[in-house]
Structure 1
Amino acid sequence: MLRRTILLLFVLMFGTLAWPVGAQDGGEDERPDPLGGATEFAVANERTSVTFMLDWAPNTNHTGFYVAQALGYYDEANLDVEFIEPTDLLPEQALDAGLAEFGVGFQDFSTPAMAEGLDLVSVAAIIQYNTSGFSALAERHQLTRPRDLENLRYGGFGVPDLENAFLRTLIACDEGTWNEDNYIDVGFADVIELLERDQIDFSWIFYGWQGIDAELKGKELSTIMLMDYQDCVPNYYTPILLTTRELIEERPDVVAAFVQATARGFAVAIQDPERAAEILLEAVPELDADLVKASALYLSEQYQADAPRWGQQTEETWQNFTAFLVENGIIEAFDPSNSWTNEFLPGVVENE
């Protein structure tokens, strides 16, 4: 499935709280409370088993879920949560088919699925701003502006319509022109290795995983981060927490319980990334410990960023990015107004 091809590569390349989530190291945390000031949290009306599907192998995008499981937040919410990884069946398909109640998606892939009629609703933004970017080896190419990319060879992951739309729009914003002949489909290859072999000049990575991994291995990258060019390519939520409209209508108590328990897990990931990293490593010991710890520290500033609480989504982000997809022929006209909601997040924030 084309929508998921890009996702797979990205991830590969990338009651009262039982655990305190106060400021780290005894200092003052100036960010708004990631729980929106909540001190009590939703509980399912009856003991309920739910299935939660990851988008790929466990990584720091998922830390809050593992924290919520390990610290008993799901248990306190009257939920028994089974974590599964996708195989032939992807999260959007599993949710739409009723085989999972919750899953991890990405706005740039879930939106086309929603436009095609799949029963999907985003109930939280896991990370507020797009932490992906276009990277080259710094020793070969110093990327200081989007136009620096226009004559370079791009290693793509097999979704040229979407990838070229991003590159075309980004580079045109800097008065440059993207030549689609520079697109090279490299599939699931290790793009850092391809950069080192000089088989491509740049590729699209998630800095919070693949970029940090490269740095830890002594490979200096030069990167154009998409979050720095939101006037060119609108921000979108990547990743997001998905459920279905059917579950919202039939068991809103379960949706609220899962979302709020998850929010508690991400509150720990935001305010105590070292502890959160330890929990993820305890759950998935085969992960690279140095990478997990460094990535957890970086993402602790990105999960909530400047939002009034963790998980918050805005109409502007959904409308602007959907318009981008429509304008570039990725999807037909589509109104995303019913594709997302903040109603199950804990606490209360202004201007909601």
Structure 2
Amino acid sequence: MDKLKKYILPIGLLLSFLLLTGCSSEPSSSGNKKNKQITLILDYIPNTNHSGIYVAQEKGYYADKGIDLNIIEPGDDSTSLALLGAGKGEFALSYQEDLTYATASKNPIPVKAVATVLQHNTSGFVALKSSGITSPKDFEDRVYAGWQSPSEEATLKAVMTKSGADYNKLTTVGDAGAGTGDLGKNVDIKWFFEGWDYTKAVMDGVELNYMPLNKLDDRLDFYTPILLTTDKLIDSDPELIQDFVDATKKGYLYAIEHSDESAEILHQASPDQDLAFLKQSQAFVSTHYTDTPESWGVMSQDVWDNYTDFMVEYQLIDHKIPAEQMFTNQFISKEDK
């Protein structure tokens, strides 16, 4: 999921919000709930992080709530978060770090997280098993290929420092391409999602050492992806948000119990992806949506505070943001729907 990993929002993209708002059209939140037209903006192309949404659409869970859902992709020149803030949809998928950037900016984007898709960060660093790289301590005098973003650099510094390594001895370059093709050649280390890039590598017979971020530093167990809506919609139509989240949760609970079928449903939306790969990816992701199905989507203040503290420490933002400004659990029903 190489482009999906671009989940650090460049500060410059926040400025695009100001331009977008000049031509925004706020979604209607009034009128009859039946057959309400709702737009959800994905964070990237359809993938197994999104399966619960496509399941809910296929099974009629949104229709049961009077919702006619339109799913769109953000495009390469914008972000789902900025588009949501500009009124181009009612809901969007994004990432905790992007939302923290957006909230801490001089022109905060008025959106809030209402659910997390995955309970834990399922990404980490990878290296060929033959390289002997098993921890960030081994990153010294090696080459890392990535996006060269500020938060990526901060993450590498944090995990290397914690392991007693010197970040200045790591060479970082721009990502040479998707997958593992460059590993062992001009690149030693990359950042993969376990349920996507890593799963594909294993299916291709590539032997990797995988170093999960949430085991390297507790603060890096942040939420990715998250479901967002606007502050305006929370104030004006909380019932719509409740209906949407309830239907979405029902879709994810189904995906947890019916992995293969959910992959087949996703494949209809992403036919270019290999179905065997989607099923293997879904088998992993279905077990990581949540530790406790009845609490799918629930977020912890500690997770938000920990990552905000990390961003402040590494000067990614210049002040701490109260967690309640960025997320709410008020729309997560405690019982299965």
Task: Place the TM-score, normalised by the shorter chain, in its bin.
Answer: 0.7 to 0.9
For 2:7, give the aligned amino acid.
L
CA distance in 1, matches of 2:145, 2:261: 36
User: Against the structure 1 CA distance between its residues 54 and 323, is the aligned structure 2 distance closer, same or farther, given a 3 Å change threshold?
Assistant: same
SS of 2:288 mapped into structure 1: coil
Output the TM-score relative to the length of structure 2: 0.86
User: Against the structure 1 CA distance between its residues 180 and 147, is the aligned structure 2 distance closer, same or farther, given a 3 Å change threshold?
Assistant: closer
Matched residue, 2:61: 73
User: Against the structure 1 CA distance between its residues 181 and 218, is the aligned structure 2 distance closer, same or farther, given a 3 Å change threshold?
Assistant: closer
Write out per-residue CA displacement over residues 38-97 of structure 1, whole angstroms, 9 at most, x where no aligned residue: xxxxxx844311100111111101000000000000000110110001123321111111
1:162 pairs with 2:151 = yes
For 1:338, give the aligned amino acid.
Q
Shift of 1:329: 0.6
Matched residue, 1:272: 258
SS of 1:195 mapped into structure 2: coil
Matched residue, 1:63: 51
For the 8 Å contact 1:155–1:191, the answer to whether it is kept is no
For 2:261, give the aligned amino acid.
R
For the 8 Å contact 1:128–1:307, the answer to whether it is kept is no
Shift of 1:347: 2.2
1:90 to 79, 84, 88: 79
CA distance in 2, matches of 1:168, 1:128: 25
CA distance in 1, matches of 2:215, 2:59: 36
For the 8 Å contact 1:143–1:224, the answer to whether it is kept is no
- The runs of 5 or more residues in structure 2 that have no matched partner are 10-31
1:261 to 247, 254, 257: 247
Matched residue, 1:148: 138
- Segment of structure 1 superposing worse, 109-118 or 204-213: 109-118
1:335 to 322, 326, 329: 322
Write out per-residue CA displacement over residues 192-236 of structure 1, whole angstroms, 9 at most, x where no aligned residue: 22215x1111011111100001111111111111122234x4310
User: Against the structure 1 CA distance between its residues 200 and 168, is the aligned structure 2 distance closer, same or farther, given a 3 Å change threshold?
Assistant: same
Relative CO higher for 1 or 2, CA cutoff 8 Å, sep ≥ 6? 1
Matched residue, 2:35: 47
For the 8 Å contact 1:8–1:56, the answer to whether it is kept is no
Shift of 1:331: 0.9
For the 8 Å contact 2:125–2:211, the answer to whether it is kept is yes
Measured on the aligned residues, the alpha-carbon RMSD in Å equals 2.2
Matched residue, 1:107: 96
Shift of 1:306: 4.9
For the 8 Å contact 2:141–2:169, the answer to whether it is kept is no
CA distance in 2, matches of 1:184, 1:89: 24
Matched residue, 2:180: 192
2:171 to 182, 185, 191: 182
SS of 2:78 mapped into structure 1: coil
For the 8 Å contact 1:191–1:203, the answer to whether it is kept is no
For the 8 Å contact 1:53–1:83, the answer to whether it is kept is yes
For the 8 Å contact 1:65–1:265, the answer to whether it is kept is yes
Matched residue, 2:27: none
1:318 to 285, 296, 304: 304
CA distance in 2, matches of 1:179, 1:288: 40
1:119 pairs with 2:110 = yes
Percent identical residues: 34
SS of 1:209 mapped into structure 2: helix
1:133 to 105, 115, 124: 124
User: Against the structure 1 CA distance between its residues 4 and 269, is the aligned structure 2 distance closer, same or farther, given a 3 Å change threshold?
Assistant: closer
Output the TM-score relative to the length of structure 1: 0.82
Write out per-residue CA displacement over residues 237-261 of structure 1, whole angstroms, 9 at most, x where no aligned residue: 0110111111110111111111110
CA distance in 1, matches of 2:322, 2:88: 26
User: Against the structure 1 CA distance between its residues 191 and 293, is the aligned structure 2 distance closer, same or farther, given a 3 Å change threshold?
Assistant: closer
SS of 2:209 mapped into structure 1: strand
CA distance in 2, matches of 1:277, 1:181: 38
User: Against the structure 1 CA distance between its residues 84 and 186, is the aligned structure 2 distance closer, same or farther, given a 3 Å change threshold?
Assistant: same
Shift of 1:269: 1.1
CA distance in 2, matches of 1:180, 1:78: 57
User: Against the structure 1 CA distance between its residues 180 and 94, is the aligned structure 2 distance closer, same or farther, given a 3 Å change threshold?
Assistant: farther
1:6 pairs with 2:28 = no
CA distance in 2, matches of 1:244, 1:47: 20
Aligned residues: 308
Shift of 1:177: 1.6
CA distance in 1, matches of 2:313, 2:293: 28
Superposed, 1:203-282 pairs within 5 Å as: 203-231=190-218, 233-282=219-268
User: Against the structure 1 CA distance between its residues 179 and 56, is the aligned structure 2 distance closer, same or farther, given a 3 Å change threshold?
Assistant: same
Shift of 1:336: 2.7
